Amino acid sequence: MLVVSNIDLKINKPVTKPSEFLKSSFRGFVLNVNNDYRYMKTGYYVSLHAEVLGDEVVPTTENALDAYRPPILLTRTAKNGAPIMPFIVTDSVRQIMAEFAFPVAVFPVNPFSFNGFRTAENRTALYRAVKSLSMNYRYAVCVQPLQGEMMVVKCFFGECACEDNSARAVARKVYETLKIPVCKLYVQRFNGGAYLCGLQPLKMEEITPSDVDLLSKMVSRFSGKGWSD
């Protein structure tokens, strides 16, 4: 197994930098540990290169693409048992207001956005959010009712430092479904439960030393048990 990472992991195993791996012809299993797997980002190209070589890789490019598209993320994880909020995909403010009462959470669907999400508590704010996140109505947006508190959960191989057991269960379901080693989840706490709302990459500056320790522990565990566990 080859570990490829742009994060300075603390493990007793050689770690290959993405730039080195992209020049290689390695054959085997590749564990791609990156802070960002979005389309056209380095993490995505590491998985793509592995697939072109015929390697088995985590995450796959299919899962990487699906994870950052909220409707697909929510649909796939819900089928695997993760609790989600109701949602619609549209570029119509009228449709959103007919479907949901304020406030709402608006997530981008376009593959080039790094804007997280926006909340709207009235019609004016909703128009602004939709226009911004849809790149001036060129893309649809994914809209969900905002009925509770939105939490941000940093997730490493389905594990997180969050003390909320419901949110931790959601994180495990997301990893079970899409096998994204490093990500940031948006989870809504409502009526004593936790509901998946979205997923974004982690910025490097958001990764703390304690996060690196947790991630390194998970990579070591992954390496010891084998990729299919």
pLDDT grade for 96, boundaries at 50, 70 and 90: very high
- Please give the average per-residue pLDDT across 78-100, as a whole number: 97
In sequence order, the β-bridge partners of residue 72 are none
Write the DSSP string, 142-189. Answer: EEEE--SEEEEEEEETTB-S---HHHHHHHHHHHHHH--SEEEEEEEE
pLDDT grade for 114, boundaries at 50, 70 and 90: low
**Of 142, 84, 79, the residue nearest 110 (C-alpha):** 142
pLDDT grade for 227, boundaries at 50, 70 and 90: very low
> Which tokens go with 7?
């994060």
d(CA 1, CA 224): 10
Three-state secondary structure call for residue 198: strand
> Which tokens go with 177?
């479904």
pLDDT grade for 202, boundaries at 50, 70 and 90: very high
Domain boundaries, the chain: 2-65, 70-82+148-225, 88-145
What is residue 163's predicted lDDT score, i.e. its pLDDT?
85
| Kind of pairing between the strands at 118-120 and 104-108 | antiparallel
pLDDT tens-digit series, residues 120-134: 999 999 999 999 999
Please give the CATH topology (third level) of the domain spanning 70-82+148-225.
D-amino Acid Aminotransferase; Chain A, domain 1 (3.30.470)
Q: How is the chain split among helix, strand and coil, in percent rounded to 5?
A: 35, 25, 40
**CB of 99 within 8 A of CB of 88?**
yes
Laid out side by side, the sheet with 182-190 consists of: 149-156, 182-190, 193-200
What CATH number has the domain spanning 88-145?
3.30.1490.20
The pTM (predicted TM-score) of the whole model is 0.92
- Please give the average per-residue pLDDT across 146-169, as a whole number: 94
d(CA 148, CA 103): 10
